[in-house]
Structure 1
Amino acid sequence: MSILSLHHGDHGVHGDTPALHPVRDFIADWLEATPAAILLRPAGAFLTEWAKATPLAILFRSLHR
């Protein structure tokens, strides 16, 4: 699952002209294939896990329960 998924599952949206779907799909696929997007996935996962492991996040989760 990518973080830049712009076109998956929204093909039934009303108000969009069918002629724009191929253009939007091409742009979304191109963005997902860029090196920046490829590098952002592991960096984002690392930062998410790091944030969850901070003492403040652990304290917040324990107080939230």
Structure 2
Amino acid sequence: MSILSLHHSDRGLHGDIHTLHPVRDFVADWLEATPAAILLRPVGAFLTEWVKSTPAVILFRSLHR
């Protein structure tokens, strides 16, 4: 039986430090290994800037100050 470990740095499956969130680590590693990861950062940056430029957010920020 073999174990596939995609964990980065020194937090492997058999290391001294055991992670408390194996599901979160698996999802993060899986997303980094998919072609969709190539698009996530540019799309995320675009959506963040788009939301910041909507009139509702501009109004909220001006009222919050």
C-alpha distance in 1 between matches for 2:13 and 2:55: 50
Note if 1:19 corresponds to 2:11. no
Alignment correspondent of 1:34: 34
Structural RMSD (CA)? 3.3
Superposed CA offset, 1:9-59 (max 9, x none): xx5xxxxx85167xx68x72x531421011111001000000000000000
Q: How does 1:1-65 map onto structure 2 within 5 Å?
A: 11=11, 19=14, 28=29, 31-65=31-65
Gaps of 5+ in 1: 1-5, 12-16
- TM-score w.r.t. the length of structure 1 is 0.55
Aligned residue pair count: 49
Q: Which of the pair has the greater relative contact order for Cα pairs under 8 Å at 6+ separation?
A: 1
Q: Flag as ranges the 4+ runs of structure 1 deviating above 6 A.
A: none
- TM-score w.r.t. the length of structure 2 is 0.55
Percent pairwise identity: 67
Q: 1:39 to 1:18 in 2, by over 3 A?
A: closer
Write 1 or 2 for the structure with the bigger share of helix.
1
Say which one has the larger Rg: 2
Match for 1:19: what amino acid? Answer: H
